[in-house]
Amino acid sequence: MTASPAGPRTLLALNWKMNKTPTEARAWGRELAGEYRRGKAEVAVMAPAISLYGLKEALPGGVDIGGQDVSAHESGAYTGEISAAMLRDAECTYVIVGHSERREYHGETDAAVAAKARQAQAHGLTPIVCVGEGLDVRERGEHVAYTLAQLRGSLEGVDERVVVAYEPVWAIGTGRTATAGDAEELAAAIRGALRERYGDLADGLRVLYGGSVKPDNVASICGQPNVNGALVGGASLGVGDVLGMLAALE
C-alpha cells in the first residue's frame, strides 16, 4: 500500500546517521544490489559523507544517495564542513537538513536550517527539511502549532523543490512509534502550510514521517493520504529490513 496514486511516488529515505565505515557501506550497497528490484517506492540512502562516493558505485541503478547535513557556505575556511557542491559532485540527489539531532547537539536554529536548505537548492540538491516536537510539547498538546512554526522558519526563502520530514523527537530511536493517525494529523497540517507557501504545487510535494519506522508499520504509515514516505534510522542499517519495508510498500 502506498500514498494515493495521484500523489508523488513514495520515498523510502534511509538515514544511516553515524553508522558504517566506507568499507561496510560499499558491502551494504553490493548486498542490496544483489536483491533489489525496482518497485513502487523510490529509495535514497543518506550515508556519512565519507562513504557516499563508494556507496553510489556499489548501489543498484535507480537508488539515490544523499548527505546528512550540508554547510550553508559556498566554500572556504570552514574546517570540517561539507559543501553542497561537494555533495552534488559525489552524485547526491538529496541532503537532510535540520535533523533533530543536529538541532539538539549542534544548536541549529530554524534560520540556520533554512540557510542550508537554500544552499542545497542552489546546487541542485533536494533538501529533506526535518521538523517535529519533543515529548514536553506533545504532552502540552501544542505539537501542531510548534511543528508548523518550526517549518515556517526552516523554509524561509526555500522554494518548492523540497521534501519535508515530520519526525517527532519522542519517536526517534525509542521504539515508540507515532500512530498512523498521529503521522497523518501532522502531515496534513504540514501540507496545509506548504499550500499557503507554494499553492497547488504543494500537492505534488513529499511529506515523510520518521520515528521508529520498520517493516511492520511502514505500510500503514505511508498509506495515509498526506504521508508520501518515511525517513528511517535504525531499520535502515540492515539490507533485510530495507527489503522488508520495500516489500510492505508494494
Residues 6+ apart with CB under 8 A from 192: none
- Of 90 and 235, which has the nearer Cβ to ligand 13P? 235
Shortest distance, position 15 Cβ to ligand 13P, whole Å? 4
Binding-site residue ranges for substrate: 15-17, 173, 212, 233-234
99 is catalytic: yes
Chain centroid to CA 119: 17
Shortest distance, position 47 Cβ to ligand 13P, whole Å? 13
Q: Which of 42, 99, 133, 143 is catalytic?
A: 99
Grid cell, residue 222, equals 505511508
One-letter amino acid for residue 233 of the chain = G
Shortest distance, position 217 Cβ to ligand 13P, whole Å? 10
Nearest to ligand 13P by Cβ — which residue? 233
Interface residues toward ligand 13P, by CB under 6 A: 15, 99, 167, 172-173, 210-213, 231-235
Q: Is 165 helix (H, G, I), strand (E, B) or coil?
A: strand
Q: Which of 42, 101, 108, 167 is catalytic?
A: 167
**Spatial contact of 83 and 74, defined as CB atoms under 8 Å apart:** yes
Cell 493517525 belongs to 181
- Of 52 and 198, which has the nearer Cβ to ligand 13P? 52
3-state secondary structure 104-146: HHHCCCHHHHHHHHHHHHHCCCEEEEEECCCHHHHHCCCHHHH
123 is catalytic: no
Shortest distance, position 12 Cβ to ligand 13P, whole Å? 12
Task: Kindly write down the DSSP assignment for every residue of 187-221, as one continuous string.
Answer: HHHHHHHHHHHHGGGGGGSEEEEESS--TTTHHHH
Cell 558504517 belongs to 20
Indicate the Cα dihedral angle 76, 82, 85, 88, nearest 10°.
Answer: 170
Shortest distance, position 69 Cβ to ligand 13P, whole Å? 12
- Of 125 and 198, which has the nearer Cβ to ligand 13P? 125
- Of 130 and 198, which has the nearer Cβ to ligand 13P? 130
**Spatial contact of 184 and 225, defined as CB atoms under 8 Å apart:** yes
Q: Which residues are catalytic?
A: 99, 167
